[in-house]
Amino acid sequence: MRFILREQGYERPVAAGRLVYEQNGQPTGAIESWRLTAAVEGYRFLRVDLDGRAAASGNSSLFHLTLNPQGQPERLRFRFFGPTAQIKGSVLFDGKVLTIVRELTGQARQEEQLEATHFWFPSTVGLGLLAGLAGEGQVEAVMLDAAASFNPRLVSLHYHEGQSEMIEVMGKQWQTRPLTLTWADQTRTLWLDAHCQPLLMQRQDGLCGRETRYVRY
């Protein structure tokens, strides 16, 4: 697993995992590794490596999210590596105001402010930031659009919580809470465990990400 900021001696592991992506039952070559650690004064760090070097796109993304003692995002750092472009940036959270900074290869630094109550970054674990949504409704949310050079977008997000469901992951049965998220022409369904961690993600086109190495310390 690759990192933007490596773990320090004062961090304590909380959970970790690795999701493998498949399209219609066939491996795509993409793997998402993640680690959650506890730091000082109740802060936590979430690190994600979405590694697509063996996939058709060859694209990879790294994320480093700082969560405050209330479990809310405080700062996100991100990096994107592709065959023809690289992007680095950050998101600062100040209440409902998000300040997004991006630097694309060969282009000037870009900064934008958006206002929303919800946010996610483009990975299954990133979608897990929406796990607090319950029931059914619609909210305004900010996303980093991986299909558009991580351009931030304000979208109208519809969510629907399904009935509790047992699924098989890593050879065992898990009690999960399905959560379906829809925006524009996109749909994602997450199957969340008791810790609101996605064990399985399915996209409208048949792509799915499944946990293979989930552990809590």
How do the domains of the chain map onto residue ranges? 12-216
pLDDT of residue 23: 95
**For residue 165, is pLDDT > 90?**
yes
Whole-structure pTM value: 0.96
Q: Tokens 């994600």 label which residue?
A: 48
pLDDT tens sequence across 38-70 = 999 999 999 999 999 999 999 999 999 999 999
**For residue 81, is pLDDT > 90?**
yes
**For residue 84, is pLDDT > 90?**
no
CA distance 35 to 106: 32
Angle at 132 between CA 6 and CA 19, to 5 degrees: 45
Q: Tokens 């697509």 label which residue?
A: 52
- pLDDT tier at 105, thresholds 50, 70, 90: confident
